[in-house]
Structure 1
């Protein structure tokens, strides 16, 4: 296909320079981005302030380097911001809310004085009661934006996009293997360090079993999407080889989910895999039967361990659901009180642990330190206010809509589309009862999958 013909298949706001000029550059940066997401999971899921600053800094350096190299070669951006205008506006609005919370207007904002009852400054100089934490949250969001922007530039090429999806699968499967080996062979440690929490569960290099299980669930969604793609677009021994490889990855991922003893991790793994397949089947009507066949196979791989390991911890924890559910409801009621106290701008990004101390009382266990809200929606509204806290939710919805509209009417559905829908289902459901997507490594993976899906929606063909 000629370059002119290829260019005609792309949206107006998508630029396609000569293939040989930046193809190699994009290949290299694609490897860097996938490697970064995989490495981010290693140091405790990057759930430490150092990594909240470190990874955005690395991404900033990569962005400057990429733009500099494009400038030297006089090559335009592959995708302009105007082609993702709504997404860019919503993302910018989130960053603006965080910046506003750092303004020195704390003495006139009611939320700051309320939080002061917990021992914080009576008249905090900033709107945020914890400006340091808010600044770190802003850094994390800058990291998400840089990762999304760079991925969008390098992933327009469908072959490269598929390689990146395979890279994500390898990274998450490697995390599953680390989790299994750490528990059964390496003395139940985290990177050689003795575990101090969830001693009876697989956590990989994460501390929290639910965050680890959510990371595995994203891997299961990726595996399912790639398996459905192989089943419907490949033939003969090639198809069998790919399906065997994906099946092997699925076994390790499912084993890790069961070993984590995470109830919601298991549930969203199943729902995510089904969502991926149903999305693909609905979008590719001519391949419904094969797609549904792969769905049943994936579901079987997930559910077979139910029969083999029926008495494992995850099922015991399902039996305790009523008791733990009541504790969560009590916690949520108190978080709602927080939201009512500061509905406009919240208590500040990243401030939940400190601000919640004011509202923490029985029946919620006062002997425990609640540093997370165990509901990402309520946490966002308590930290950023009702409007600001809704912006990240609208941002995810805008990306999903962009991807759906971009794939409408196509004969071939890009696997990044169905995988992203599965990831959204996982995030939407799991965030109702836990904080896995507040873990930096999990959120980085989510942002990467989002950018891959948008890139797939913007153009079907590209040689660079």
Structure 2
């Protein structure tokens, strides 16, 4: 990815329309990686060093002292943080036009659909196999190419939203294609293939049995699907105004459809929620201990990648003595504990920039406005699930989401051009 970023920068240069976002993200990448490096080195006069190093010096004669309690793990985590950032920056370099951005989203959607089909076949025929190795966890759940069902659910939820968008685009192209013209049958075939891949993503999502993943997708669908139904034919300038009652009817129908769909097909996840209440979930039991750890190290953090070591001192015996918590099951709290006050500042900056980008996209884009809403809904999905799981900490999903986000940000900041949009729609028939 780093090599691709360098090549893209040399070939395309700095992106024009998304230059501001590119600069902010690059600055944020430098700040975060720089701070993580500072956490690993020995500062003069043991300044800001973690108190654990004093104990290590007294007991074992260790002379080293740093902010991180495990400098090697924190140093290794720099790459895990840099990878999604560099992926996003590379995406902005490549998606310098609406057509390229939509091509990237088309490829990501089809990839998600193919992975969903693979997951369904694997779960049906070889439920105890994970790609090519033996599966040891979540034997009752579809995880596709992931180990954890929650990460799989986040990926499949995003894939479902993407494939829904592709089905909408190809269906509109087919309906606008003149009968008898070459390419109409090809469009029909592609419409059916896209629809089947959409069904595969949705089915795989339901079989993941992830309560949080399905609920987050449900919230995102309530944002995206009603809007898509109301504006199915696109927002064109010369369309006749639609009566308000008809728009309200479409809105209510879309909401009812999403609720009914969830009720009908999310039975296994709902059953899991009923069998194991929130207060009985270990991930919620350990929250007070995480907050105590954060309160003790809120300024400098303990070093990213050190949660497993640090949390053991704050673990409540009432949560049980079995198992090892190597992750906080909360992206925000683990980031706060690892990086200190730098993390919430960075998170607020990221969400503020995304809010500004989506607001601009909703105000300026016409034909491609549904991609802006798609980006908003997907961000809500990922942000909600990150509060109870660690999907964003898995490199495979982090890279996929970063590539997706770069394309929707590029579209949101792009200038509306009817001729370019129509040219892309005509290219769907080729």
Do the aligned partners of 1:216 and 1:256 also contact (CA within 8 Å) in 2?
yes
Q: Secondary structure at the match of 2:308?
A: helix
Q: Secondary structure at the match of 2:340?
A: helix
Could you list the per-position Cα deviations for residues 235-286 of structure 1 after superposition, in whole angstroms to 9, with x for gaps in the alignment? 2566876654443222111111121111111111222222223566699597
Instruction: Work out whether 1:104 is the aligned partner of 2:60.
Output: no
* TM-score between the two structures when normalised by the length of structure 2: 0.80
Do the aligned partners of 2:206 and 2:265 also contact (CA within 8 Å) in 1?
no
Do the aligned partners of 2:25 and 2:85 also contact (CA within 8 Å) in 1?
no
Is the alpha carbon distance of 1:296 and 1:448 closer, same or farther for their aligned partners in structure 2, counting shifts above 3 Å? farther
Q: Where in structure 2 are the equivalents of 1:359-370 lying within 5 Å?
A: 359-370=314-325
Query: Counterparts of 1:360 and 1:128 in 2: how far apart (Å)?
Result: 19
Q: 1:103: how far off?
A: 2.6
Query: Counterparts of 1:455 and 1:226 in 2: how far apart (Å)?
Result: 18
* TM-score between the two structures when normalised by the length of structure 1: 0.75
Q: Which residue of 2 aligns with 1:132?
A: 72
Query: Counterparts of 1:278 and 1:97 in 2: how far apart (Å)?
Result: 43
Q: Which residue of 2 aligns with 1:450?
A: 405
Q: Where in structure 2 are the equivalents of 1:141-290 lying within 5 Å?
A: 141-229=81-169, 235-236=175-176, 244-278=192-226, 284=235
Return 5+ residue gaps in structure 1 as ranges: 1-58
Q: Which residue of 1 aligns with 2:428?
A: none
Query: Counterparts of 2:61 and 2:349 in 1: how far apart (Å)?
Result: 33
Query: Counterparts of 2:191 and 2:407 in 1: how far apart (Å)?
Result: 22
Do the aligned partners of 2:49 and 2:65 also contact (CA within 8 Å) in 1?
no
Query: Counterparts of 1:272 and 1:335 in 2: how far apart (Å)?
Result: 28
Instruction: Work out whether 1:307 is the aligned partner of 2:264.
Output: yes
Q: 1:326: how far off?
A: 5.3
Q: Which residue of 1 aligns with 2:289?
A: 334
Q: Secondary structure at the match of 1:411?
A: coil
Q: Where in structure 2 are the equivalents of 1:42-61 lying within 5 Å?
A: 59-61=1-3
Q: Which residue of 2 aligns with 1:66?
A: 8
Do the aligned partners of 2:299 and 2:340 also contact (CA within 8 Å) in 1?
yes
Do the aligned partners of 1:345 and 1:388 also contact (CA within 8 Å) in 2?
no
Q: 1:293: how far off?
A: 5.3
Could you list the per-position Cα deviations for residues 137-174 of structure 1 after superposition, in whole angstroms to 9, with x for gaps in the alignment? 21122222221122112212222222211111111112
Could you list the per-position Cα deviations for residues 188-227 of structure 1 after superposition, in whole angstroms to 9, with x for gaps in the alignment? 3111211111111111121111111111011112123334
Instruction: Work out whether 1:113 is the aligned partner of 2:70.
Output: no
Could you list the per-position Cα deviations for residues 303-354 of structure 1 after superposition, in whole angstroms to 9, with x for gaps in the alignment? 54743674x3x23211034255553332110000010110111111121111
> Which residue, out of 385, 394, 408, partners 2:340?
385
Q: 1:112: how far off?
A: 5.0
Q: Where in structure 2 are the equivalents of 1:339-418 lying within 5 Å?
A: 339-418=294-373
Q: Secondary structure at the match of 2:147?
A: coil
Do the aligned partners of 2:327 and 2:390 also contact (CA within 8 Å) in 1?
yes
Do the aligned partners of 2:218 and 2:262 also contact (CA within 8 Å) in 1?
no
The total of aligned residue pairs comes to 398
Superposed CA RMSD in Å reads 3.5
Q: 1:381: how far off?
A: 0.8
Is the alpha carbon distance of 1:422 and 1:256 closer, same or farther for their aligned partners in structure 2, counting shifts above 3 Å? same
Could you list the per-position Cα deviations for residues 399-435 of structure 1 after superposition, in whole angstroms to 9, with x for gaps in the alignment? 3322321441333234431221111111221112111
